[in-house]
């Protein structure tokens, strides 16, 4: 039995990353450790350097990119619901914790997360995994929450963009045109492109590529072949799929086949 708190959570352990990551986002949090090397992380147009024994935090929906040099890291992508529920248990309020500090140099936090990651990758009993998860995340929330939100600020805050996002998700595996998106938003193409970029931080094309690569990544971790995962995520050309995936994640989708480094909790 897997730890229920981690249902559909992705873990990744990369031993040597060198290269650039293009602008992208995640609907989840990103919580990761830098074990060695260096990563130049850019979030909200500000660059931060992550060195050994540091923790990296990205809030849901935040657009980010970066540049890695012999970077060895472990990430996981906990859901908004997971941290919201834990925050409620700690403080009695149903709010979403948000973290202003991006790179955290805190040995205690690092060690707690190391114990949690080690527990996951060694496939310990769910009770131990969840206990170490709560221990690490409660420390993070207690010491580094800058503010909490009653609801997540995403592109769904406005009805027109909510409809556009729903349309994109429903048509990821097919062709999505600018005509279609501007029609759904009930705007001219000019206004749609400008407002979408201002609201989300990505162009419509960048947003679609981020959603398609994430969908393909999840499918591969569930056992789908590389070629079918790319097709089901909307990539008609395999080379385009590989290039797009590498730009966002810094490694080839083939790397996901190294099962010892990647985990998707069911």
- Is residue 212 helix, strand or coil? helix
User: Do residues 25 and 56 both lie within one domain?
Assistant: yes
Print pLDDT tens along the chain (266 aa).
Answer: 455 789 889 999 999 999 999 999 998 999 999 999 999 999 888 999 999 999 999 999 899 999 999 999 999 999 999 999 999 999 999 899 999 999 999 999 999 999 999 999 999 999 999 999 999 999 999 999 998 877 544 444 467 788 898 999 999 999 999 999 999 988 888 888 888 888 878 899 999 999 999 999 999 999 999 999 999 999 989 999 999 999 999 999 999 998 889 998 86
User: Do residues 12 and 107 both lie within one domain?
Assistant: yes
User: Do residues 128 and 219 both lie within one domain?
Assistant: no
pTM of this structure: 0.86
H or E stretch covering 139: helix 126-144
Q: Give residue 8's domain range.
A: 4-149
Give the list of residues 6+ apart from residue 236 with CB closer than 8 angstroms, or none: none
User: Do residues 195 and 241 both lie within one domain?
Assistant: yes
pLDDT at 156: 40
263, part of any domain: no
């Amino acid at each position: 039995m897997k730890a229920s708190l981690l249902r559909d959570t992705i873990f990744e352990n990369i031993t040597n990353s060198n290269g650039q990551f293009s602008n992208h986002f995640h609907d989840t949090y990103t919580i990761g450790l830098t074990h060695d090397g260096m990563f130049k992380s850019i979030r909200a147009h500000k660059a931060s350097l992550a060195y050994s024994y540091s923790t990296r935090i990205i809030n849901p929906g935040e657009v980010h990119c970066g540049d890695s040099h012999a970077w060895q890291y472990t990430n996981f992508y906990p859901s908004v619901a997971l941290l919201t529920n834990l925050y409620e248990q700690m403080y009695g309020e149903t709010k979403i914790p948000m973290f202003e500090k991006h790179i955290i140099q805190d040995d205690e936090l690092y060690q707690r997360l190391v114990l949690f990651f080690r527990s996951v990758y060694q496939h310990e009993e769910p009770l131990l995994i969840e206990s170490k998860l709560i221990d690490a995340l409660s420390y993070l929330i207690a010491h580094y929450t800058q503010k909490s939100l009653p609801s997540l600020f995403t592109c769904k805050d406005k009805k027109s963009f909510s409809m556009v996002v729903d349309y994109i998700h429903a048509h990821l595996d097919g062709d999505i045109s600018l005509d279609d998106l501007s029609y759904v938003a009930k705007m001219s193409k000019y206004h749609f492109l400008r407002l979408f970029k201002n609201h989300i931080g990505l162009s419509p094309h960048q947003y679609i590529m981020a959603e398609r690569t994430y969908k393909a990544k999840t499918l591969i971790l569930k056992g789908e072949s590389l070629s079918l995962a790319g097709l089901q995520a909307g990539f008609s050309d395999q080379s385009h799929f590989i290039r797009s995936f590498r730009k966002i994640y810094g490694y080839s989708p083939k790397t996901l086949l190294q099962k010892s480094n990647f985990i998707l909790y069911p």
